Amino acid sequence: MMRVMANLNEEIGTSNRQLASQSKLDERVERLMSAPGIGVMTATSFVASVDRVERFESAHQLESYLGLVPREWSSAEKQQRGAITKQGNGRMRWLLVEAAWSILQNDDTDGAPLRTWAERIVAPRGKRVAVVALARRLAGILYAMWRDGKEYEARLVAANGCRAA
């Protein structure tokens, strides 16, 4: 059993090294990895899931495509919202949620504006809701970085609407 695990760990390590070397060939992946909480697997999966960023008119459309928006049942004047829709690529959604947990739990300076924003949601709504909201916001940031061809800048995130959702 130990031998099988050792072989499996070796194969995983080889795959991770190959993915890291291949990611250096794609400038989009390299750029997305500048965002806090985003590693090679998340950036590569995001590029593969989105395919062409220009097919989305807005960040909200992409967030909806990934299933990170609340389900809604509305009629006349009454609006009811539920849990997230979970439409789209479940693996990509999971990776973004894991990246959000990473941002919330680490004390790095690049993630500070996002962490502060999410912490303001924790008190009234709870940690799990805040993490999903942060994952949705992270998807929007990645969309903007790819669309505009710019690296992540914490000061711009702090300046551009760190209001609670």
Q: Looking at the domain assignment, is residue 43 inside a domain? A: yes
| 51-106: pLDDT as tens digits | 999 999 999 999 999 999 877 777 778 777 777 777 888 899 999 999 999 999 99
Confidence of residue 4 (pLDDT cuts 50, 70, 90): confident
Residue 136 in any domain: the answer is yes
Is 138 part of a structural domain of the chain?
A: yes
Sign of the CA dihedral running 58, 155, 164, 95:
positive
Q: Which residues contact 148 (CB under 8 A, 6 or more apart)?
A: none
Instruction: List pLDDT tens digits, range 120-157.
Output: 999 899 999 999 999 999 999 999 999 999 999 888 87
Backbone angles phi, psi at 79, to 5 degrees: -115, 125
In a domain, residue 118? The reply is: yes
- Quote the number of domains for the chain: 1
Domain-located, residue 98: yes
Per-residue pLDDT at 34 exceeds 90: yes
Q: What confidence category does residue 163 fall into, taking pLDDT thresholds of 50, 70 and 90? A: very low
Model's pTM, two decimal places? 0.84
Better-predicted residue by pLDDT, 53 or 21: 53
Cα separation, 145 vs 153, in Å, equals 10
SS3 34: coil
Note whether residue 2 is domain-resident.
no
Q: What is the mean pLDDT of residues 156-160?
A: 73
| Domain-embedded: residue 10 | no
In a domain, 6, yes or no: no
Where are the strands (E) in 7-165, listed by range?
70-75, 78-84
Domain interval for residue 96: 27-159
Nearest residue to 41 (alpha-carbon basis) of 59, 62, 63, 19: 19
The rounded radius of gyration (Å) of the Cα atoms in the chain is: 17
Q: Which residues of 62-99 are buried (b: 16+ CB within 10 A; e: fewer)?
A: bbbbbbbbeeeeeeeeeeeeeebbeebbeebbebbbbb
The pair of three-digit structure tokens given for residue 32, joined into one six-digit string: 């997305």
Cα angle: 43, vertex 62, 33; to 5 degrees: 15
How many Cβ atoms sit within 10 Å of the Cβ of residue 44?
20
